[in-house]
């Protein structure tokens, strides 16, 4: 009897039911779209932070470079004189620590021993300046006037000999600058290389702690035409290219990756690191871990993902603020309005059915049965509105993903890993660090819809139906059979 009456009444007042369901659908659809876009914003920010730190890293520990620590000294290159007939190319590398003061390897163990730290690994960020080229010997050109000319300019022969000058001599040298990162190959699951995917070849083996092997960033490999099996010479040491890495998003942490021990040897930084990558045992305790490290490891700067997120500006930050603030409150306002409208429309419908409910009561229906009938109708309206709202919300989220607008993320300087926020002293090393510190990343926005969002939408639909039913049920429970008799025409 309940369901038969319910089906008949909904069919008879389908226009009013559709109005109530549509209002709820709009509110639920807006909640789904805003929730999915917010999730997409978080995912985009996660990509930005992962491009700086690497997968699995919760924070980094560094030590800021002291101003003028290098005394403003410029890199110096020395070349030996070659024989008169030699045109052999000469080259010289200057390998410098980039961005930060070095920390002892013992600091890595100390950080790893702190409460709440799951794992810690050190890395060494380097900048290489390579000067290569050759000297060209000049040729003596004799004057056509013979030996009568006196004096002469630079390169002229002594008086009494053939007169002329040296022409065509000089030097042709090229300066190349690139970044190298020494990574701890014994812990491949932590560090900046995890922000890239090996698209060709392989990554390091845990046994290659002192091997002369290198993984090249895909952009750098394309620029230098490097392929698997090629060699790269750094400060006279030839490294074999074993893999090509492509960053998941943004820029790579370095142009080349080599084992940490090799990087320490090349830069004369034995048992030194510039960055310690830390993974917390509990993601909810990152703040406590940060405080413990700052308290127990003097002179270091601890930067968490949350710290980096605060430095993200640009359209990504603006859109994220809009989605989390304006969008959230707008969806709440629309949802509340939809609930109120559904309740008022249901109550109004009950007022127009006074004669019907009064007659049912006169026939023996209890107030509770009438109330349940009204609540049941409102609940069905809410479920229909929920189904429509989920369909509209999924359509809106799919549209955002299909359009996939590009958002720009500008990363400010707070201190961090290579290629990410950081400082630097004067000279080319500091310039490279400052350039990386203010880099901008373009991230495509998506709007993923999770099962939790769908469950929330169903909950909202049921809640909306119950709220509307509560309005109407309260009104119906107050009706008396005598009201039906007064309205008989």
Interval 300-320 mean pLDDT? 64
pLDDT of residue 245: 93
Confidence at 54, pLDDT banded by 50, 70, 90: low
pLDDT of residue 371: 78
User: What 3-state class would DSSP assign to 269?
Assistant: coil
Same domain, yes or no, for 334 and 290? no
Yes or no: say if 337 and 331 are a contact pair by the CB < 8 Å rule. Answer: no
Same domain, yes or no, for 101 and 194? yes
Looking at per-residue pLDDT, the higher value among 460 and 353 belongs to: 460
Among 100, 45, 43, residue whose Cα is nearest residue 69: 100
What are the backbone dihedrals phi and psi of residue 325, each rounded to the nearest 5 degrees, phi first?
Answer: -105, -70
44-67 residues labelled b (16+ CB within 10 A) or e (exposed): bbebbbbbbbbbebbbbbbbebee
Look at residue 28 and tell me if it is in a domain: yes
The structural domain count of the chain equals 2
Q: Tell me the average pLDDT of the chain.
A: 74
Among 377, 341, 375, 344, residue whose Cα is nearest residue 469: 375
Looking at per-residue pLDDT, the higher value among 361 and 216 belongs to: 216
Among 312, 433, 359, 432, residue whose Cα is nearest residue 41: 312
Among 250, 243, 187, 178, residue whose Cα is nearest residue 216: 243
Same domain, yes or no, for 205 and 342? no
Task: Report d(CA 342, CA 228) in Å as an integer.
Answer: 66
Look at residue 393 and tell me if it is in a domain: yes
pLDDT for residue 422 is more than 60: no
How remote is the C-alpha of 336 from its chain's centroid? 34
Please identify, among 265, 299, 333, the residue that sits at the C-terminal boundary of a domain. Answer: 299
Same domain, yes or no, for 333 and 288? no
Yes or no: say if 396 and 33 are a contact pair by the CB < 8 Å rule. Answer: yes
Interval 451-456 mean pLDDT? 84
Same domain, yes or no, for 192 and 320? no
Least confident among 23-37, 42-56, 200-214, 459-473: 42-56
Look at residue 377 and tell me if it is in a domain: yes
Same domain, yes or no, for 106 and 246? yes
Task: Name the pairing type of β-strands 406-411 and 440-444.
Answer: antiparallel
Q: What is the pTM of this model?
A: 0.56
Among 335, 353, 375, residue whose Cα is nearest residue 468: 375
Confidence at 419, pLDDT banded by 50, 70, 90: very low
pLDDT for residue 303 is more than 50: yes
Taking the CB of residue 71, how many other CB atoms lie within 10 A of it? Answer: 7
pLDDT for residue 457 is more than 80: yes
Look at residue 167 and tell me if it is in a domain: no
Among 124, 64, 123, 58, residue whose Cα is nearest residue 292: 58
Same domain, yes or no, for 329 and 363? yes
Same domain, yes or no, for 362 and 233? no
Look at residue 421 and tell me if it is in a domain: no
Same domain, yes or no, for 342 and 460? yes
Look at residue 278 and tell me if it is in a domain: yes
Same domain, yes or no, for 294 and 339? no
Same domain, yes or no, for 127 and 181? yes
Interval 21-25 mean pLDDT? 82
Interval 309-319 mean pLDDT? 54
pLDDT for residue 155 is more than 70: no
pLDDT of residue 427: 33
pLDDT for residue 38 is more than 60: yes
Same domain, yes or no, for 26 and 111? no
Please identify, among 299, 323, 341, the residue that sits at the C-terminal boundary of a domain. Answer: 299
Look at residue 337 and tell me if it is in a domain: yes
Look at residue 77 and tell me if it is in a domain: no
Please identify, among 241, 265, 299, the residue that sits at the C-terminal boundary of a domain. Answer: 299
Domain hosting residue 286, numbered range: 64-71+89-139+173-299
Among 268, 267, 471, 169, residue whose Cα is nearest residue 350: 471
Q: Which of 63-67, 187-191, 362-366, 413-417 reaches the highest mean pLDDT? A: 187-191
pLDDT of residue 435: 38
Q: Which of 12-21, 332-341, 378-387, 413-422 reaches the highest mean pLDDT? A: 378-387
Task: Report d(CA 154, CA 131) in Å as an integer.
Answer: 29
């Amino acid at each position: 009897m309940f369901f038969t009456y319910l089906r008949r009444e909904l069919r008879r007042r389908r226009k009013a039911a559709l109005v109530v369901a549509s209002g709820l659908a709009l509110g639920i659809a807006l909640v789904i779209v805003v929730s999915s876009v917010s999730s997409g914003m978080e995912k985009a920010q996660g990509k930005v932070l992962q491009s700086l730190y690497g997968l699995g890293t919760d924070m980094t520990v560094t030590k800021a470079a002291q101003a003028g620590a290098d005394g403003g000294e410029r890199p110096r290159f020395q070349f030996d004189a070659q024989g008169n007939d030699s045109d052999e190319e000469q080259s010289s590398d200057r390998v410098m620590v980039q961005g930060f003061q070095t920390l002892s390897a013992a600091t890595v163990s100390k950080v790893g021993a702190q409460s709440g730290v799951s794992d810690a690994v050190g890395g060494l960020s380097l900048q290489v300046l390579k000067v290569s080229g050759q000297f060209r010997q000049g040729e003596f050109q004799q004057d056509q006037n013979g030996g009568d000319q006196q004096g002469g300019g630079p390169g002229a022969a002594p008086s009494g000999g053939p007169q002329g000058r040296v022409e065509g001599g000089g030097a042709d040298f090229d300066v190349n600058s690139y970044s190298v990162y020494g990574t701890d190959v014994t812990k491949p699951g932590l560090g900046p290389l995890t922000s890239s995917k090996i698209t060709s070849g392989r990554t390091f083996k845990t046994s290659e702690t002192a091997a002369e092997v290198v993984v090249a960033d895909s952009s750098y490999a394309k620029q230098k035409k490097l392929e698997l099996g090629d060699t790269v010479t750094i400060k006279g040491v030839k490294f074999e290219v074993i893999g090509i890495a492509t960053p998941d998003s943004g820029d790579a942490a370095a142009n080349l990756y080599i084992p940490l021990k090799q990087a320490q040897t090349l830069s004369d930084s034995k048992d030194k690191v510039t960055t310690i990558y830390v993974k917390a045992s509990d993601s909810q305790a990152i703040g406590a871990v940060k405080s413990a490290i700052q308290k127990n490891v003097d002179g270091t700067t601890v930067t968490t993902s949350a710290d980096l997120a605060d430095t993200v500006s640009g359209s990504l930050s603006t859109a994220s603020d809009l989605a989390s603030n304006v969008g959230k409150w707008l969806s709440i306002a629309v949802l509340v309005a939809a609930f109120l409208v559904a309740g008022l429309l249901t109550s109004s419908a009950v007022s127009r059915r006074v004669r019907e409910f009064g007659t049912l009561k006169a026939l023996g229906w209890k107030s509770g049965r009438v109330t349940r009938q009204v609540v049941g109708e409102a609940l069905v309206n809410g479920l229909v509105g929920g189904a429509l709202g989920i369909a509209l919300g999924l359509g809106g989220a799919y549209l955002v993903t299909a359009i996939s607008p590009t958002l720009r993320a500008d990363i400010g300087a707070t201190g961090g890993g290579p290629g990410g926020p950081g400082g630097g002293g004067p000279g080319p090393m500091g310039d490279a660090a400052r350039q990386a510190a203010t880099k901008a990343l373009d991230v495509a926005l998506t709007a993923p819809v999770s099962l939790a969002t769908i469950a929330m939408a169903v909950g909202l639909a049921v809640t909306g139906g119950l709220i509307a039913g509560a309005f109407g049920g309260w009104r119906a429970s107050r009706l008396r059979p005598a009201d039906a008799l007064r309205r008989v025409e």
